[in-house]
Structure 1
């Protein structure tokens, strides 16, 4: 390997580390109680069960159904 390959590898490792740090912080922020998708209030029982919930039940169900379909059919 030459110096360019080593530098590129270091950049990849640093980027991956930075991305993981950001994602980790996003998961530890308590919800503000407003759905990020529709803007409606998140159900109180949902917030009691998961204080980090970012979406209301309906939007979370819809997002999960879309993700499940994407996994089954591949990207569209």
Structure 2
């Protein structure tokens, strides 16, 4: 195999991964409107912006803050 064959093979693998990622997103189910963390209703404007939102704004902000802290400090 020469470099052109290897490059073509890499492109084929990357394209297959990209297609799988798109198909995976297409199969997602829209949110039922209930926050998975606290059980409260997800804000209507949040669902209009992201029909797949799984958490309300407050829980999503808290989860993002925890993830940010974990990235800074490492796992605890």
User: TM-score surpassing 0.5?
Assistant: yes
Equivalent residue number for residue 57 of structure 2: 57
**In the alignment, is residue 73 of structure 1 matched against residue 40 of structure 2?**
no
**In the alignment, is residue 46 of structure 1 matched against residue 39 of structure 2?**
no
Task: Using the TM superposition, give the Cα deviation of residue 53 of structure 1 relative to its aligned residue in structure 2, in angstroms.
Answer: 0.1
Equivalent residue number for residue 36 of structure 1: 36
Task: Using the TM superposition, give the Cα deviation of residue 28 of structure 1 relative to its aligned residue in structure 2, in angstroms.
Answer: 1.4
Aligned CA-pair RMSD: 2.2
Report the TM-score when normalising by structure 1. 0.66
Question: What is the alpha-carbon distance in structure 2 between the residues aligned to residue 50 and residue 28 of structure 1?
Answer: 12
**Greater than 3 Å deviation, 4+ residue runs:** none
- Structure 2 SS opposite 1:55: coil
Report the TM-score when normalising by structure 2. 0.66
Question: What is the alpha-carbon distance in structure 2 between the residues aligned to residue 39 and residue 56 of structure 1?
Answer: 9
- Kindly provide the CA deviation profile for residues 12-68 of structure 1, in whole angstroms up to 9, marking residues without a partner as x: xxxxxxxx88xx36x711000000000000000000000000000000000000000
Equivalent residue number for residue 13 of structure 2: none
